[in-house]
Amino acid sequence: MNLSDSIKSRRSIRRYKQKQVDDKLLTDLVDSARFAPSGGNMQHLRYVVVRTPENVKKVFELTGWGGHVRPKRSPVWGKDAPAAFIAVIAPAEVAKSLRHLHGDAGAAIQNILLKAVELGLGTCWIGNFKEENVSPVIGLGADMKTLYLVAVGYPDESPVQENIGSSDSTKYFLDEKDVLHVPKFKVDAIVTWK
Ligand SMILES: Cc1cc2nc3c(=O)[nH]c(=O)nc-3n(C[C@H](O)[C@H](O)[C@H](O)COP(=O)(O)O)c2cc1C
């Protein structure tokens, strides 16, 4: 698959096969993150790979999924939960003061998501968690903060993307076959030319 196809076909996955992901593949995901741009090339970000079932369960229980769809598109532990999480972390001092840090995290995470497409893995970027609950569970002290989590596993759903106009709803929705549809604005709806 070329890069354009990966960009277009990547979807957030909220149903996973109950299959472990090899450490080698998880390493490949983090390895792709390190090539991302970072403000001033400071490279403040670090990663915690959570992949033992015991630890994944602990993190999973602290995460929120598919908040905009009813019934909620939340995986169930033991049925279709992810095999791993990659926690994107940074020093607490930097997280407090550096405006660029979330830009760095976004660039790094998008590399992870696209690399996962290439590897046949599914991912979901997770921001819905309480930082103060997750950080201790993944072994962080007060000096480090969890910015985001990326859920990883083998996909067990195939969400489809829909093109929409500027006045259409961006809310993703489930059809009668339990397929998730993800609306994305057409380019004309989001660009201004000067
Ligand atoms: C910053 C950020 C935080 C997100 N947090 C969550 C989350 O906590 N739970 C979830 O299910 N999806 C989360 N998502 C995934 C979005 O819901 C998803 O990207 C959006 O619905 C578009 O779908 P797509 O990723 O398939 O294009 C997050 C995405 C971003 C960029």
* Predicted confidence (pLDDT) at residue 57 exceeds the cutoff of 90: yes
| Per-residue b or e along 145-172, where b marks 16 or more CB atoms closer than 10 Å to that residue's CB | bbbbbbbbbbbbbebeeeeeeeeeeeeb
pTM of the model: 0.97
Gap between the Cα atoms of 135 and 139, Å rounded: 6
Interval between CA 65 and ligand 1 midpoint (Å): 8
The answer to whether the CB of 65 is under 6 A from ligand 1 is yes
Q: What is the DSSP letter of 183?
A: E
* pLDDT interval class at 39 (50, 70, 90): very high
The percentage of residues in the chain with a pLDDT greater than 90, rounded to a whole number, is: 94
Domains and CATH numbers, the chain: 3-157 (3.40.109.10), 159-194 (2.20.180.10)
Q: Is the pLDDT of residue 110 over 90?
A: yes
List the residue whose alpha carbon is closest to atom 11 of ligand 1. Answer: 65
> DSSP 3-state assignment of 141?
coil
- The response to whether residue 60 sits with its C-beta less than 6 Å from ligand 1 reads no
For ligand 1, the distance from its centroid to the CA atom of residue 194, given in whole angstroms, is: 31
Query: What atom in ligand 1 is closest to the CA of residue 65?
Result: 11
Average pLDDT rounded to a whole number, residues 32-48: 97
Q: Is 137 in the pocket of ligand 1 (CB under 6 A)?
A: no
User: With 90 as the cut, is the pLDDT of residue 133 above it?
Assistant: yes
pLDDT digits (tens, 9 = 90+) for 178-194: 999 999 999 999 999 99
